Amino acid sequence: MKTCDESLPGLIDVYDTDNLNTFVSLYFDGRDEHFIPQREKVIQCLLTPDELKNFVKTMETIKTYLKKNKATNYAIFASDKNDFFKALSFPVTVQNSLSVDVSPYIHQIAELADDWQAYTLVLLNSNQAKIFSFSCGELHVEENLSADIMNKHKKGGMSQARFQRLRKGSIHAFLTEVLDALEKITIENIILAGPGETKKQFRDMLPIQLRKGVIAVVDVAIDDACGLVDETKELMREKSKEEHRQLLDLIQSEILKNGLAVYGLAETLAAVKNGQVEAVLVERDVKQKGWMCERCHLLEAGALSRCPSCGKNTSEVDIIEEIVKLAERTGAIVGFSQDERLKKIGPVIGLLRFK
């Protein structure tokens, strides 16, 4: 299974070209055995014949996959009509949800990706190094490197000074190998860890772009990777919270001086549509009703059965979900927060690129 931040870009631009409700989005914690069949029955009563045919086939594919892959806390996005299938797993509890729409439902994944920002952990000493990637709550070993470094100087045959020069050269060569491996993996959100001074020596070797990506240097024994994972997770959570606080402070300042900020559902939606938004901050766990025209794709907040532009039927949508998708498509930063200020102003606010 792919991780959420790897798969999010592959979900935001996927939709049914005939504007039919053919994409099934399932989030399931694996515990309530009645949840999926109960939701299936309700959904089947509400679909058109063509949509129902696709839904039944799609659910058969999903159930076959679930029988072969026993897991908890996963998300599956599928459409038989569009020959589409993606499965993700999470190390944290997801909120059970089974929905059918013209495109995959990504809101919950976006929140999880925001909670569990990807980072790279380099654990090293003078002759060992492990590079881990952490994404959406899961840790993966990317590289496992080691070198045969001389650790003791034997009397006779080699001067102490020559020995130290050779040893320093061997360590530098090894750290260069680690650096080459790291550059192929990432340039941002890097945590350096290990005993002694080697990690600091390694940081000083980094080119300026990589050095800017280092967010923490942690003292830890080389064999204490398990304890380090919890510590680095907490570091990233605090980093994310601080970034959200700073973004909210900036947007609040812009609102007060009537500057480059937008707030309110209709206003923020319009700005996101126009590509004006640099960053969006969304109140966590909030949904709001909206509608989308089945023909001309006009999208607005509120409730309306017929499109005022073309007169065709509309479909009910979660307008917060649509704002998140539009923001992701335009390259805007998307964050989720429970800050009391956002609850008062929100449910969604944005920092503008231009007015």
Decide the pairing of beta strands 119-124 and 190-194.
parallel
Task: Yes or no: say if 198 and 126 are a contact pair by the CB < 8 Å rule.
Answer: yes
Residue 24, domain extent: 1-105
Phi-psi region of 227 (alpha: psi -120 to 50; beta: other; left: phi over 0): alpha
Phi, psi dihedral angles at 257 (to 5 degrees): -100, 15
Kindly state whether residues 263 and 353 are assigned to the same domain: yes
Domain for residue 228, yes or no? no
Q: Are residues 72 and 121 in the same domain?
A: no
CATH of the domain at 205: 3.30.420.60
DSSP 69-89: S--SSEEEEEETTTTEEEEEE
Compute the C-alpha angle 211/212/216, nearest 5°.
80
275 and 192 housed in the same domain: no
The DSSP bridge partners found for residue 277 are 352
Q: Are residues 306 and 268 in the same domain?
A: yes
| Whole-angstrom distance, CA of residue 346 vs CA of residue 209 | 36
Q: Are residues 267 and 329 in the same domain?
A: yes
Give the CATH number of the domain where residue 281 resides: 3.30.1330.30
Take residue 8 and report the two structure tokens written for it.
């999010």
**pLDDT confidence of residue 1:** 42
How confident is the model over 16-44, as pLDDT tens digits?
A: 888 888 999 999 998 888 999 999 999 99
C-beta separation of 341 from 287 below 8 A: no
Neighbours of 100 (CB within 10 A): 24
| pLDDT given at position 2 | 46
Last residue of a domain, one of 223, 256, 288: 223
Q: Which residue do the tokens 């126009």 mark?
A: 274
DSSP code of 47? Answer: S
Q: Of 105, 123, 139, which one is at a domain's C-terminal end?
A: 105
Give the model's pLDDT for residue 116.
72
Write out the H or E segment, with its range, that includes residue 117.
none
Do 304 and 193 fall into the same domain? no
Integer CA distances (angstroms), 263 to 196, 252, 270, 287, in order: 49, 10, 10, 16
**324 near 282, Cβ under 8 Å?**
yes
Closest CA to 120 of 138, 139, 133, 130: 133
Do 323 and 292 touch, CB atoms closer than 8 A?
Answer: no
pLDDT at 172: 83
Residue 127: Cβ within 10 Å count:
17
Is 254 in contact with 308 (CB distance < 8 Å)? Answer: no
pTM for this one?
0.74
What number of CA atoms fall less than 13 Å from residue 246's CA on the CB side?
A: 6
Domain annotation covers residue 214: yes
d(CA 304, CA 208): 54
Same domain membership, residue 83 and residue 20: yes
Residues 179 and 210 in one domain: yes
Does any domain span residue 234? no
**Series of mean pLDDT values for 10-residue runs along the chain (355 residues):** 56 84 93 92 93 96 89 89 89 88 88 80 88 74 70 55 67 88 86 90 91 90 74 82 92 94 93 94 89 83 87 86 90 91 91 92
* Same-domain status, 100 and 120: no
Counting the structural domains of the chain, the total is 3
The answer to whether residue 231 sits within a structural domain is no
- In the block, tokens 């930063």 appear at 333
173 and 255 housed in the same domain: no
**In the listed set 105, 135, 158, which residue is the last one of a domain according to the structure?**
105
Verify that 248 and 354 share a domain, yes or no.
yes
Instruction: Say if residue 301 is in the same domain as residue 323.
Output: yes
